[in-house]
């Protein structure tokens, strides 16, 4: 889900209020007397996918009920009065990533619309790359948008479709949008899941007694004791009623391009995505990294938490002891999610503390998942040196992040991406490390069980590393894709 513009006449002008936000978690359930309560739990398990806002819409056979709010799931739904209102055996929920100070409640999902056929709620993980183009056309035709979210184009496209049934109108809408989407939607009879033809973002189907569940990751099934049934296929639309689960394949088959960064950083390690344990992939990356770029050191130290599985793999493959040389405080949010550059710097200190016993007098290799702007790494390296490490080497379990993502992961634009601005030696010198190495692209593909990257038909979306975007960037090519730098932009600091 991306947010675009607010209060500007030009839909391609981002304005300085609301900007992009992607990275989300979606959850839906049908046929469960505790639908809303289970949705809250599911959203708790998906909280890592979005921490700015959360929302739930339920249906109780008579009416739709909703609650949306800024902040974490626990801040919004640990409330009896709220939960008592969310009645019914169907519900959809959404967690959303942090963004600018200009954030407004009307953008918090699930979005809801009243159609001629009844109510409709939609929750989106991903980013539509032609939403601004469609929005501009629809506005010219008289459509009045209620939010600044890219997701809203879907509801308008359904509303104006000349097809007959809801199902046909939904598919008509899906055929017009481009980009990454895992949708969980709901009418008064049906829970709907839809995944874009490339399957960029995850979406899984689960079962709990007689209830069916759709959610971003299997960890959201685990938390409610539901069993994993299967991944929703790329390009698949599932229509779930109390009587049946029907699968539609309305798109021509394409080579799937699941986001490889989900394995590296974004998904929870205890999830299984597209048949691979996220934890195991991360460990395998560490093993590959140790083979490709060994380090002659005394101790392997992860940057917690995201660097831990790769560091375990690195330590196992190199025979060097793994130690917690940096301790993470779990009671602060992710470092990345800070409102200004100033507080983001402080955030690193709030979050990580060196374990001096482990580091003093040692040659250390730090293992982290990715370097985006380099802010975190610079601070961590300095911290480890101050704690007495004699050498600090760094190994990164992703290739250099040299390109922005337009498919649902919030990354800065080229000017703020460390790897877009500097070569390896330049990065090493900026970070102040004795050596720096990233996993190779083929090493990464090996960790997910491939022999190498298929250059003609890449098995994954790896555009943030290669610049090989899986689809044309329609809005951007029309001069209008707003910056993806929502968390990091100068405008944001001003806001």
Q: CB-wise, 218 or 375, nearer to ligand AMP? A: 375
d(CA 202, CA 191): 17
Q: CB-wise, 4 or 302, nearer to ligand AMP? A: 302
- Under a CB-based contact definition with an 8 Å cutoff, are residues 351 and 332 in contact? yes
d(CA 145, CA 419): 38
The residue range among 72-80, 157-165, 325-333, 364-372 that interacts with ligand AMP, by the rule CB under 6 A, is 364-372
Note whether 376 binds ligand AMP by CB under 6 A: yes
The residue range among 234-242, 267-275, 312-320, 370-378 that interacts with ligand AMP, by the rule CB under 6 A, is 370-378
Q: CB-wise, 66 or 335, nearer to ligand AMP? A: 335
d(CA 463, CA 478): 20
Cα 307 to chain centroid, rounded: 17
Note whether 133 binds ligand AMP by CB under 6 A: no
For 49-65, b/e burial (b = at least 16 CB within 10 A) is bbbbbbbbbbbbeeebb
- Closest CB 162 distance from ligand AMP, rounded Å: 39
- Closest CB 432 distance from ligand AMP, rounded Å: 14
Note whether 370 binds ligand AMP by CB under 6 A: yes
Strand partners, 212: 30, 207
Alpha-carbon dihedral angle through residues 251, 254, 256, 257, given to the nearest 10 degrees: -100
- What Cα–Cα distance (Å) separates residue 161 from each residue in 139, 168, 175? 15, 9, 11
Which H/E stretch holds residue 93? strand 90-96
Q: Of 417-446, which residues contact ligand AMP (CB under 6 A)? A: none
The closest alpha carbon to 202, from 216, 191, 212, belongs to 216
Q: CB-wise, 333 or 388, nearer to ligand AMP? A: 333
Note whether 371 binds ligand AMP by CB under 6 A: yes
Q: Which of 14, 24, 461, 464 is catalytic?
A: 24
Q: CB-wise, 149 or 377, nearer to ligand AMP? A: 377
Strand partners, 124: 183
d(CA 38, CA 58): 11
The residue range among 182-190, 233-241, 243-251, 365-373 that interacts with ligand AMP, by the rule CB under 6 A, is 365-373
- Under a CB-based contact definition with an 8 Å cutoff, are residues 132 and 481 in contact? yes
Strand partners, 166: none
- Closest CB 277 distance from ligand AMP, rounded Å: 19
- Closest CB 377 distance from ligand AMP, rounded Å: 6
- Taking residue 244's Cβ as centre, other Cβ atoms within 10 Å add up to 8
Note whether 462 binds ligand AMP by CB under 6 A: no
Note whether 484 binds ligand AMP by CB under 6 A: no
The residue range among 165-173, 367-375, 422-430, 436-444 that interacts with ligand AMP, by the rule CB under 6 A, is 367-375
Q: CB-wise, 58 or 411, nearer to ligand AMP? A: 411
Q: Of 241-300, which residues contact ligand AMP (CB under 6 A)? A: 265
- Under a CB-based contact definition with an 8 Å cutoff, are residues 154 and 183 in contact? yes
From candidates 212, 373, 403, 476, binder to ligand AMP by CB under 6 A: 373
For the question of residue 24 being annotated catalytic, the response is: yes
d(CA 305, CA 322): 14
- Closest CB 296 distance from ligand AMP, rounded Å: 24
Q: CB-wise, 44 or 352, nearer to ligand AMP? A: 352
**How many residues touch ligand AMP (CB under 6 A)?**
17
- Under a CB-based contact definition with an 8 Å cutoff, are residues 87 and 37 in contact? no
Binding-residue pattern over the window 302 to 331 for ligand AMP, x denoting contact by CB under 6 A: ----x-------------------------
Which ranges of 195-332 does DSSP label H, i.e. alpha helix?
219-222, 261, 278-292, 308-318
Q: CB-wise, 388 or 432, nearer to ligand AMP? A: 432
- Closest CB 490 distance from ligand AMP, rounded Å: 15
- Under a CB-based contact definition with an 8 Å cutoff, are residues 191 and 205 in contact? no
- Closest CB 208 distance from ligand AMP, rounded Å: 30
d(CA 188, CA 186): 7
Binding-residue pattern over the window 388 to 417 for ligand AMP, x denoting contact by CB under 6 A: ---------------------xxx------
- Under a CB-based contact definition with an 8 Å cutoff, are residues 206 and 229 in contact? yes
- Closest CB 376 distance from ligand AMP, rounded Å: 3
Note whether 334 binds ligand AMP by CB under 6 A: yes
- Closest CB 367 distance from ligand AMP, rounded Å: 10
Q: CB-wise, 250 or 339, nearer to ligand AMP? A: 339
Pairing of strands 460-461, 258-259: parallel
For 192-224, b/e burial (b = at least 16 CB within 10 A) is bbbbbbbbbbbbbbbebeebbbbbbbbbbbbbb
Catalytic residues: 24
Q: Where along the sequence are the contacts to ligand AMP (CB under 6 A)?
A: 265, 306, 334, 336, 368-377, 409-411
């Amino acid at each position: 889900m991306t947010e675009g513009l607010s209060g500007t006449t030009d839909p391609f002008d981002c304005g300085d209020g609301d900007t992009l936000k992607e990275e989300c978690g979606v959850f839906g359930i049908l046929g469960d007397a505790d639908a809303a309560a289970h949705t809250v739990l599911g959203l708790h398990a998906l909280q890592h996918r979005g921490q700015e806002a959360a929302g739930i819409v339920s249906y109780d056979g008579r009416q739709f009920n909703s609650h949306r709010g800024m902040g974490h799931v626990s801040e919004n739904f640990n409330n009896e009065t709220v939960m008592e209102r969310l009645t019914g055996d169907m519900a959809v929920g959404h967690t959303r990533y942090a963004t600018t100070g200009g954030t407004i409640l009307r953008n918090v999902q699930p979005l809801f619309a009243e159609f001629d056929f009844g109510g409709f709620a939609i929750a989106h993980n991903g980013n539509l790359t032609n939403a601004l183009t469609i929005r501009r056309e629809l506005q010219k035709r008289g459509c009045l948008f209620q939010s600044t979210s890219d997701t809203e184009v879907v509801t308008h496209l359904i509303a104006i479709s000349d097809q007959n049934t809801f199902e046909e109108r939904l598919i008509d809408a899906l055929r017009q949008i481009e980009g990454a989407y895992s949708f969980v939607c709901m009418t008064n009879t049906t829970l709907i899941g839809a995944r874009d033809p490339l399957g960029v973002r995850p979406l899984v189907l689960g079962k709990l007694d007689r209830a069916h569940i759709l959610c971003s990751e299997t960890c959201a099934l685990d938390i409610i004791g539901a069993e994993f049934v299967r991944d929703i296929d790329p390009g698949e639309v599932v229509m779930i009623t109390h009587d049946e689960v029907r699968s539609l394949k309305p798109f021509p088959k394409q080579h799937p391009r699941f986001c490889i960064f989900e394995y590296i950083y974004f998904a929870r390690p205890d999830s299984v995505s597209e048949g691979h344990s996220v934890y195991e992939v991360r460990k395998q990356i560490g093993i590959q990294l140790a083979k490709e770029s060994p380090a002659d050191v005394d101790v392997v130290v992860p940057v917690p938490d995201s660097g831990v599985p790769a560091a375990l793999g690195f330590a196992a493959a190199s025979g060097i002891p793994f130690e917690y040389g940096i301790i993470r405080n779990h009671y602060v949010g992710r470092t990345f999610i800070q409102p200004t550059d100033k507080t983001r710097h402080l955030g690193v200190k709030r979050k990580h503390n060196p374990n001096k016993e482990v580091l003093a007098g040692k040659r250390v290799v730090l293992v982290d998942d990715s370097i985006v702007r380099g802010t975190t790494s610079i601070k961590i390296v300095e911290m480890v040196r101050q704690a007495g490490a004699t050498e600090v080497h760094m190994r990164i379990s992703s290739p250099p992040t040299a390109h922005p993502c337009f498919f649902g992961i919030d990354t800065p634009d080229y000017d703020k991406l460390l790897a877009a601005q500097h070569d390896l030696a330049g990065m090493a010198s900026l970070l102040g490390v004795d050596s720096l190495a990233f996993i190779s692209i083929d090493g990464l593909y090996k960790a997910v069980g491939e022999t190498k990257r298929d250059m003609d038909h890449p098995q994954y979306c790896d555009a943030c590393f290669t610049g090989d975007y899986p689809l044309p960037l329609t809005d951007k090519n029309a001069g209008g894709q707003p910056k993806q730098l929502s968390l990091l932009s100068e405008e944001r600091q001003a806001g």
